[in-house]
Amino acid sequence: MHYKLSGRRDMEGQPQLELQINGHFNLVCQRCLGALAFDLDAAAVFILVPDESRMPQPEDERDDVEYIVADAPIDVRALIEDEVLLSLPLAPAHENVNCNDALSAAKEQKESPFKVLQGLKLNKD
Ligand SMILES: [Zn+2]
């Protein structure tokens, strides 16, 4: 994984950080539990605010940036971890054609009538 963190000031002179993350992740498909390669390409802008009292009101917050109170050294590692977690899919899954589950789902459908019968018989006993 590669990341680039750069600092700059916006047009109003407010300091901000720009974080870019590129990486290749090996995820697990939530349908077939097979390996799933995922290329992450994420970017985020953080506006640094000197203290809590200078945080913008919710209605003034911009949607495309995040705000950080910079009253202590910034934990860059946590910043990157958060951004990676936000950018990864919550429930990663293969495209249907690549997913092993598409095959096993077809198989299960064929078997299901027998499973249902089995279940009925057991319930009667
Ligand atoms: Zn899959």
Residues 84 and 107 in one domain: no
100 and 89 together in one domain:
no
Pairwise CA distance, residues 71 & 65, whole Å: 18
Is the pLDDT at 125 greater than 70? The verdict is no
Q: Does the pLDDT at position 40 exceed 70?
A: yes
Q: How far is the CA of 84 from the centre of ligand 1 (A)?
A: 22
Q: Are residues 123 and 72 in the same domain?
A: no
Which of 83, 84, 99, 89 has the alpha carbon at shortest distance from 32? 99
71 and 14 assigned to the same domain? yes
Q: Average pLDDT, stretch 13-26?
A: 94
Helical H segments across the chain, by residue range:
76-87, 100-124
What does DSSP assign to residue 53? G
C-alpha gyration radius of the chain: 24
Q: Do 30 and 73 lie in a common domain?
A: yes
**What are the pLDDT digits (tens) for 103-124?**
665 655 555 555 656 666 655 5
Range of the domain at 120: 96-125
Tell how far the Cα of 20 is from the centroid of ligand 1, in angstroms. Answer: 28
Domain check: are 67 and 18 in the same one? yes
Q: Are residues 86 and 37 in the same domain?
A: yes
Span between the terminal Cα atoms of the chain, in Å: 58
> How much distance in Å is there from the Cα of 105 to the middle of ligand 1?
11
Which one is predicted more confidently, 106 or 39?
39
- Residue 41, pLDDT > 60, answer yes
| Ligand 1 center–CA 64 separation, angstroms | 32
State whether 56 and 15 are in the same domain.
Answer: yes
Residues 42 and 17 in one domain: yes
Do 44 and 64 form a contact (C-beta atoms < 8 A)?
no
Tell how far the Cα of 96 is from the centroid of ligand 1, in angstroms.
8
Are 72 and 117 members of one domain? no
pTM, two decimals, is 0.69
How many distinct structural domains can be found in the chain?
Answer: 2
